[in-house]
Amino acid sequence: MTCGQIISLLEEQSPESFACEWDNVGLLVGDFQQEVNSIYIAVDATEETISEAVEEKADLLLTHHPLIFKGLKKVNTEDFTGKRIIQLIQNHISCYAMHTNFDVKGMADLAAERMSLTDCQVLEETWQGEEGPEGIGRVGLLPEEVSLSACISRVKQAFSVNTVKVFGMMNQNVQKVALCPGSGKSVIGRALRAGAEVLVTGDIDHHEGIDAAAQGLAVIDAGHYGVEKLFIPYMAQYLKDKTKGIRITGQPVKQPFLFV
């Protein structure tokens, strides 16, 4: 299959048109006509990731986060993004990103399923479709009311994380959950307006966390990567189901930082 044919399959799952205006998704490096026999899937297109794709003899690197986000004026080895682009081109590897379009069309519902949430509604509407609003994050109900401590255990199990950062009282009861994979600072107000009792997300700073808790919204920060790494196995299975004869490899879990 060509890179363009693979992209058509990816667009069936998450059309590029569903990405936010500020985002940069799609084929960021490469050739639509390139033959693809091997695909490597990761969250981020780091130098380490690209080196692994080279070792795997991948023709296409599929990532959640875009390799190129801001405008580039130069592509050379003095710039870390330029260095990555050059490494991809030298090794004939195309690079495709599914970011906020996947957040809307895949990540939110997948994460909600992991948490066993019911009666889900869109947390942040980004698109009005024929079947109703679509967007980033979900607000839904746990099967029963539980303590925040028990909810933390559910989050750890659902997303296979060992540690989380928590704002709130361990003995407070929660059932209505706001869920925003990735960075959730901007949705705290939306979660409060939706009546959520706990927000599960990543990238929550000190002030956002304590202010949310002061307003009655507990926060479980499972890490930006901690929740979004579910992109890798999901897309690996999706492509295995949609293609034949192509080797699909998902990057092993690689936490971007350590607690020591």
User: For 205-250, what is each residue's pLDDT tens digit?
Assistant: 999 999 999 999 999 999 999 999 999 999 999 999 999 999 999 9
pLDDT at res. 259: 79
Q: Outline where DSSP puts E strands in 71-186.
A: 94-97, 118-129, 132-147, 165-167, 173-183
Q: What angle do CA 35, 99, 23 make, to 5 degrees?
A: 110
pTM to 2 decimals?
0.96
Q: What angle do CA 234, 20, 31 make, to 5 degrees?
A: 65
pLDDT at res. 258: 83
Query: Which whole-number Å values give the CA distances from 223 to 184, 200, 219, 242, in the listed order?
Result: 10, 9, 12, 30
All structural domains of the chain, each given as residue ranges with its CATH number in brackets, are: 3-98+230-250 (3.40.1390.30), 103-226 (3.40.1390.30)
Number of Cα atoms under 13 Å in the Cβ half of residue 53: 32
Q: How confident is the model at residue 130 (pLDDT cuts 50, 70, 90)?
A: confident
Region of 57 please: left (phi>0), alpha (psi -120 to 50) or beta.
Answer: left
Nearest-Å Rg of the Cα atoms of the chain is 19
pLDDT digits (tens, 9 = 90+) for 57-91: 999 999 999 999 988 999 999 999 999 999 999 99
